[in-house]
Structure 1
Amino acid sequence: MRILHTADWHIGQTLNGWTREAEHGAFLARLPELVDAHGADALVVAGDVFDGVNPSAEATRMLYEALVGLHQRRPRLTTIMVAGNHDPAGRLEAPSALLEGIGVRVVGVMHRRDGAIDLDRHLVPLRDRDGEVRAHVLAIPYLRAADLPGLGQADEEPGSPVVRATRRLYAEAVEAARKRIGGAPLVATGHLHCAGGLESDGAERRILVGGEHAAPPDIFPDDVAYVALGHLHRPQHVGRETVRYSGSPFPLSATELPYDHGVSLVELRPDGAHCEHIRVARPVPCLRLPQRGSLTAAELPGAVAALGLDPACPREGQPFAHVVVRPDGPAAGLAGEVERALETLPLRCAGVKIDWPARTAAEEAPPAPVSLADCDPGDLFDRAFEAAHGAPPGPEHRAAFDEIRLGD
């Protein structure tokens, strides 16, 4: 039994105003080939299918076309998709009656019947190519406060009540599943941050209920053969080898440029689950300019020319560039200057980071408190300008300040 695990597609994402539609389209067109090439019996999508709770018609169409394409390529494929914190959970589930006709089970929220977890919604049988049930997936989406048992009750136990409630929910779900399926292999999904996982700075929200940051990976019972996680964009395992983030299919922020993006292939064998990372080529190059350190605005055209980019490449296929620039004078407006310079070059600016000069310990020390009555307004302006832009103001900046201060 083989399962392809993927997550964090973020369909509809933009990067510094640029659409990622071409990249999503290329990855989703490649997905049926990956399923076919690796003989997958099931596809698990562990949340953050969309980038926001109000996806566009184009983003929704892209998803549905991808699901139809998967069914056409492998009609026996079972696809399980759960909602992440970015997803519109109810809207994701809404077409379930139609999607199940092409082998797709979507779980956006926790379902209960008579107070117990509704296994008819959350427990999905996986069949091999002969139609025999060989394993099950326990489809658990991103958990909200209302999903967690006993969260609002008085609790004097040490530690986090959110973590305890999350642990109880998984224990309840696995116990109920075991009563139905016995000792058959069980795969669980989750969309959360597990302690020990490496996150991408600025790309992933801290999402546990109540402001909690991370749950320990031992919240998942030991008899679960594999845990397919979503939320962190770097492929990695946490705790044991079989508790794994597949990562996002391509970089979604500057932090993710070094990641080896792809999907996870899981094979359920008699001796347990065996995992393999399958690298997926990036549909569009994502670059850092320069590769190390920083450059000035004047050095930028030469650095781009050295890349040997094709000026005839269509805009949607041009590389993204995360630019790190150091000021060689006042930095006011420097980021905008860099973006305007890149508009005429065959790449797309994904963001500009200013590399401020390193400060000495004396410069880092907070100034001694003084009375404003003892300060010269021009000196205060000079200090504020240099703190904001990494360089002292020029004559034009002082002239503009004096004009405002004197009211001329």
Structure 2
Amino acid sequence: MKILHTSDWHVGKVLKGQSRAEEHKQVLAGVIEIAHAERPDLVIVAGDLYDTAAPSPEATRLVTRALTALRRTGADVVAIGGNHDNGHALDALRPWAEAAGITLRGGVRENPAEHVIDGVTADGERWQLAALPFLSQRYAVRAVEMYDLTAAEATQTYADHLGRVLAKLTEGFTEPDRVHLVTAHLTVVGATTGGGERDAHTVLGYAVPASVFPGTAHYVALGHLHRSQRVIGPCPVRYSGSPLAVDFGEQENVCSVTLVEVGAHSAARIREVPVAAAVPLRTVRGTLAQLTEATPPEGWLRVFVREQPRAGLREEVQELFPRALEIRIDPELLPTPGSGTRVAQRAGRSPRELFADYLGSRGHDDDGVRDLFDELLEEVER
């Protein structure tokens, strides 16, 4: 059977005030085009369909249309909730999804059988998929309790809980003539983050070892980390990555979907198919003189200016690079915390003196900024 694995769409993403809606339309159209060309038996969307738990009507419309279009290629479609999604809201769409022939699992249900999906390809290949949406720490404990696997003790780790849940969902992975699959939205120890994940959900407390996946699985389709990558484990484990760069930390990522060909008695053959419809993200560095001579690259820009801060600098750079979404002083020029700068004494000193000390500590010697502060202070004190 053939599987198209994608994840982390983040529909509704706004980057530094810039909507990505048109890019998402083009990117998802590209994913659908790949599905038409490759004719997969199964499409797995491994979480983070949306960028926010309260998506706009436009974002909801785009996601539901994309899932419908993928289903119309003839593939079975399974999508799970990620940490950016509202699991309850996704589950509220299940009646629509079922009517459209789409399997949607937003959150973990009390009946573990709801997370084990069976299917048969047009050629008669039988498959079973264990689908685990994102679980926070407290819901991981609750899932263990309601599945009655063992007493959930406060000292047990997040990885312990997820290991137990996955063991329950995959306990039927013993039949020899069936393809066994897992999809989950989580962080695996040793994987490389891609720059766009919420730190709270990628720290070590939320990471699990690849050993939580059974060696009897033919393929594990993961979401959450935005860089496409293989993870070493007891079976083929892979992140598809995001089909577009979500922020400037991901500008070097290869945006793609993953195609997998696998059988009950044949090893998974995996390849990446690039998705290049999104506007590229670029970082530009230089002095103002260097930036003046530079040709603006295509895409949305982040500009690091190698100048000391001063009033009006941002406006000058913005005029040179109209597509710059972020303009900052190059971090290499800023003093590091604890680098020997004197901590100003506050007692008995005026706001003007304290502000002047602050400007000095940041290497920002600009009379124009001081004058603006004085005007603001006068307004406040009236």
- TM interval, shorter chain, is 0.7 to 0.9
Candidates 286, 296, 316, aligned match of 1:295: 286
Cα 1:330–1:20 shift into 2, 3 Å: closer
Once the two structures are superposed, what CA deviation does each residue of 1:17-50 show, in whole Å capped at 9, x if it has no partner?
A: 1111111111211222211322311100000000
Question: What code does the residue aligned with 2:360 have?
Answer: E
Cα 1:244–1:298 shift into 2, 3 Å: same
Partner of 2:120 in structure 1? Answer: 127
1: CA distance between counterparts of 2:60 and 2:222?
23
Partner of 1:212 in structure 2? Answer: 205
Partner of 2:23 in structure 1? Answer: 23
Q: Does 1:237 align with 2:230?
A: yes
Once the two structures are superposed, what CA deviation does each residue of 1:149-199 show, in whole Å capped at 9, x if it has no partner?
A: 14984355xxx5211111111111111x337x5662211111111111111
Question: What code does the residue aligned with 2:18 have?
Answer: W
Once the two structures are superposed, what CA deviation does each residue of 1:259-303 show, in whole Å capped at 9, x if it has no partner?
A: 1110111111323222212222233232222xxxx2134543532
The total of aligned residue pairs comes to 370
| Map 1:181-330 → 2, pairs under 5 A | 184-201=178-195, 203-207=197-201, 212-240=205-233, 242-269=236-263, 270-289=265-284, 294-304=285-295, 307=297, 319-327=299-307, 329-330=308-309
1: CA distance between counterparts of 2:51 and 2:316?
29
1: CA distance between counterparts of 2:61 and 2:187?
29
Specify every segment of 5 or more residues in structure 2 that has no aligned partner in the other structure, as ranges.
none
Residues 222, 238 of structure 2: 8 Å contact kept: yes
Residues 77, 103 of structure 2: 8 Å contact kept: yes
By how many angstroms is 1:108 displaced?
0.7
Q: Secondary structure at the match of 1:237?
A: strand
Residues 8, 48 of structure 2: 8 Å contact kept: yes
2: CA distance between counterparts of 1:360 and 1:15?
27
2: CA distance between counterparts of 1:233 and 1:272?
25
Specify every segment of 5 or more residues in structure 1 that has no aligned partner in the other structure, as ranges.
310-318
Instruction: Give the structure-1-normalised TM-score.
Output: 0.80
Candidates 300, 312, 317, aligned match of 1:338: 317
Residues 42, 126 of structure 1: 8 Å contact kept: no
Q: Does 1:110 align with 2:141?
A: no
Cα 1:198–1:334 shift into 2, 3 Å: farther
1: CA distance between counterparts of 2:49 and 2:6?
10
Residues 322, 352 of structure 1: 8 Å contact kept: yes
Cα 1:360–1:137 shift into 2, 3 Å: closer
Partner of 2:153 in structure 1? Answer: 154
2: CA distance between counterparts of 1:402 and 1:99?
59
Cα 1:102–1:154 shift into 2, 3 Å: closer
Question: What code does the residue aligned with 2:237 have?
Answer: V
Q: Secondary structure at the match of 1:223?
A: coil
Partner of 1:99 in structure 2? Answer: 97
Partner of 1:6 in structure 2? Answer: 6
1: CA distance between counterparts of 2:197 and 2:153?
34
RMSD: 3.2
Partner of 2:367 in structure 1? Answer: 395
Cα 1:340–1:111 shift into 2, 3 Å: same
Partner of 1:138 in structure 2? Answer: 130
By how many angstroms is 1:382 displaced?
4.2
Q: Which moved more, 1:194-203 or 1:374-383?
A: 374-383
Question: What code does the residue aligned with 2:287 have?
Answer: T
Cα 1:397–1:16 shift into 2, 3 Å: closer
Residues 204, 232 of structure 1: 8 Å contact kept: no
By how many angstroms is 1:371 displaced?
6.1
Instruction: Give the structure-2-normalised TM-score.
Output: 0.85
Q: Percent of aligned pairs with the same residue?
A: 31
Question: What code does the residue aligned with 1:303 have?
Answer: A
Cα 1:142–1:299 shift into 2, 3 Å: same
Cα 1:380–1:257 shift into 2, 3 Å: same
Cα 1:236–1:296 shift into 2, 3 Å: same
Partner of 1:173 in structure 2? Answer: 169
Q: Secondary structure at the match of 2:216?
A: coil
1: CA distance between counterparts of 2:12 and 2:268?
33
By how many angstroms is 1:206 displaced?
2.8
